[in-house]
Copies of this chain bind each other. A is one copy, B any other.
């Protein structure tokens, strides 16, 4: 093989069959009450492996990439098989390809998705699928522990500079609901007054209120997609 042909062979196949195979997996996040404290927490569904390697262990839902399918379509498809839901947000996370991450050579392109709490209630139980508190999973198959941790890191970082929190919420929501999302993801309480100020300008007031509660009815808002998406700080004074 000449030097030139070695430099750009993108698109060339025809190797032997010990080629690398390609899978797409998805980290699916939803907010549900924590079993102990009851406060909103990040959950995700896992699938029990029914054959080697790692038979019996929990793993991220996924499967091999079909030749006719785009990467994101494959992820969406996986999500539907696993939860019956449509993602409110779907984004590529990272490609994991360490040689020793699986006995056979597999590169996994991992997506992460957010599903809203309202749809979450409609999830039908599916055999071999179970939901877990994201921060508490361990002992997963392959390198999936690392992948979940990386996905959580990305979610926590991205929520401070990108309007992804709405991925957990219905179209219309109260400021308290939105704040609950941020508090669940960041894992600490936020000042309601300052939170409101930071969100104003990114939200459209619907004019409606949520009624039927035993206190002052909160206004309903909608995400304003035209808003400037400058970064949020939420720093805590530490002196």
Complex Cα distance, B129 from A17, in Å, reads: 31
- Say which one of A53-61, A170-178, A190-198 lies at the interface with B: A53-61
Supposing A3-B127, A67-B18 touch, asked if A8 and B59 sit within 8 A by C-beta, the answer is: yes
Complex Cα distance, B68 from A116, in Å, reads: 41
Whether the pair B128, A51 counts as a contact (CB closer than 8 A) is no
Note all chain B residues with C-beta closer than 8 A to A127. Answer: 3-4
Whether the pair B106, A11 counts as a contact (CB closer than 8 A) is yes
Does chain B have a CB within 8 A of A99? Answer: yes
Note all chain B residues with C-beta closer than 8 A to A108. Answer: 10
Contact of A71 among B9, B17, B107 (CB under 8 A): B107
Does chain B have a CB within 8 A of A94? Answer: yes
Per-residue contact bits, chain A 90-101, to B (CB 8 Å; 1 contact, 0 not): 001011011100
Supposing A106-B11, A109-B107, A129-B7 touch, asked if A19 and B63 sit within 8 A by C-beta, the answer is: no
Whether the pair B13, A21 counts as a contact (CB closer than 8 A) is yes
Whether the pair B99, A9 counts as a contact (CB closer than 8 A) is no
Does chain B have a CB within 8 A of A136? Answer: no
Does chain B have a CB within 8 A of A32? Answer: no
Complex Cα distance, B30 from A175, in Å, reads: 46
Contact of A8 among B21, B60, B65, B107 (CB under 8 A): B60
Contact of A97 among B5, B71, B81 (CB under 8 A): B71
A75 to nearest B CB, angstroms? 11
Complex Cα distance, B105 from A19, in Å, reads: 14
Per-residue contact bits, chain A 128-151, to B (CB 8 Å; 1 contact, 0 not): 110000000000011000000000
Supposing A81-B6, A92-B95 touch, asked if A11 and B103 sit within 8 A by C-beta, the answer is: yes
Note all chain B residues with C-beta closer than 8 A to A53. Answer: 11
Contact of A50 among B4, B47, B60, B126 (CB under 8 A): B4
Note all chain B residues with C-beta closer than 8 A to A206. Answer: none
Does chain B have a CB within 8 A of A15? Answer: yes
Q: Can you list 24 A-B pairs, Cβ within 8 angstroms, ordered by A? A: A5-B50, A7-B61, A7-B81, A8-B59, A8-B60, A8-B62, A9-B63, A10-B25, A10-B141, A11-B23, A11-B53, A11-B102, A11-B104, A13-B64, A13-B104, A15-B21, A17-B17, A19-B19, A65-B107, A67-B99, A70-B98, A71-B95, A71-B98, A95-B95
